[in-house]
Amino acid sequence: METMLERLIRYCKVNTRSDESSKTVPSTVSQVEFAKALASELRELGFSEVTHRLDNGFVTATIPSNSDKPVDTLGFIAHFDTADFNSENVMPQIIENYDGNDIVLNKALDVVMTVDKFPNLKNYVGHTLVTTDGTTLLGADDKAGIVEIIEAMLYFVAHPEVKHGEIRVAFGPDEEIGRGANLFDAKDFRARYAYTLDGSVLGELEYESFNAASGKVTLHGVSVHPGTAKDKMVNTSKLAFEFDSMLPQEDVPEKTEGYQGFFLLHDMKTTIELGHMSYIIRDHDKEKFLLRKQLMLDNAKAINEKYGTTRVVAELNDSYYNMAEVIAKDFKPVELAKQAMANLGITPIIKPIRGGTDGSKISFMGIPTPNLFTGAENFHGKFEFASKEVMEKAVSVIIEIIKLNAK
């Protein structure tokens, strides 16, 4: 625990932002360099079987079993890329014994994290907080998870008298752009069960995620001089408005919560003659998810029939599926986590993830992988912060899960 904050700050200062437009694995060179350094550090710390795979970007390592009986191998997973927000020159700030008032992140730029806007701050009175300087994200999503896994493993390195089974760890790239786990080698990982450390508030235990797809909509118009455009011009901006208006207008992220799914028009670029729209499609319910995808295709077909030619082309690609479908068949990792939290006096907060983790894909690779809290909040922006005290509890939960598994 003594090295936890130092490690978090050191990792957060490294720009590991992923890039959705890149075709490489990992998507950015900075992630490759971070992975190399991380692998070297794990070797120095006494981890076994440390491997940095260039084909998928993952760093994996082992704490060998010291048990005299068969024990299921457990895995712990976190990602080192950060989201699509400024992550250059990250300068973490430490606030000790937080008093519950507004936090001035950057006086010169008048960037203030107010309790009025972020009432969740009241949960951290007395804590040591790590914040941004108001110009970048922090990167605790998910470097806090990496740090917590490492600190938990160091406990077992330092206490060989504590019996445990084999423990595998994996740190990977490109989770934020939805590609990180695509090339994960589940067979080589050897874990019977695993956990991602990629959640937020104290007690979060998540084993239901969205079913997710991306939608690319291409619009074909006709450009002519506006002075002679009558009955000739077809403006793709207008086509875009028409297409989006055919989707249920209440099914958007800003109007949904819990198990409610949505369509998100993520970005759009149009000229008169050519347009592109990018959607993400989400739903926890598999049938509703399939209906959402079909609606996209049906709407494109209806517009094309209206105009008598192909004006709209919708292409859909599945991203990940609801991991509850897998975990429901073997609840042991969830029960272990619930018991570990109970033993530590932590009340589990069991709720669906309104998103996905690498565990969404890894579960379908044969390793049931629920998600645990990290103690960080306000991800993907300049108001991101992490609590030292909750991070310590995340470390304790990992340790307790491993101890329970050995029994």
Q: Is residue 73 within 8 Å of residue 136, measured between CB atoms?
A: no
* CA 76 – CA 190 distance, rounded (Å): 12
Helices (H), 248-347: 286-307, 324-327, 332-343
Phi and psi for 316 in degrees, rounded to 5?
Answer: -120, 140
Element (H, E) at 30: helix 29-45
Q: Which SS3 state, helix, strand or coil, does residue 62 take?
A: strand
Active site residue 318: no
* CA 238 – CA 272 distance, rounded (Å): 9
Q: How far is CA 297 from the centre of its chain?
A: 28
Q: Which SS3 state, helix, strand or coil, does residue 208 take?
A: coil
Q: Is residue 77 within 8 Å of residue 152, measured between CB atoms?
A: no
**Candidate list 81, 151, 283, 377, residue with the active-site label:** 81
Torsion of CA 362, 364, 365, 367, to 10 degrees: 70
Alpha carbons within 13 A on the beta-carbon side of 191 = 30
DSSP assigned state of 291: H
**Candidate list 166, 174, 175, 206, residue with the active-site label:** 175
Residue with tokens 């969830």: 334
Element (H, E) at 160: none
Active site residue 257: no
The two beta strands, 204-206 and 111-113, are: unpaired
Q: Is residue 368 within 8 Å of residue 404, measured between CB atoms?
A: no
Q: Is residue 57 within 8 Å of residue 77, measured between CB atoms?
A: no
Q: Which residues are tagged catalytic?
A: 81, 175
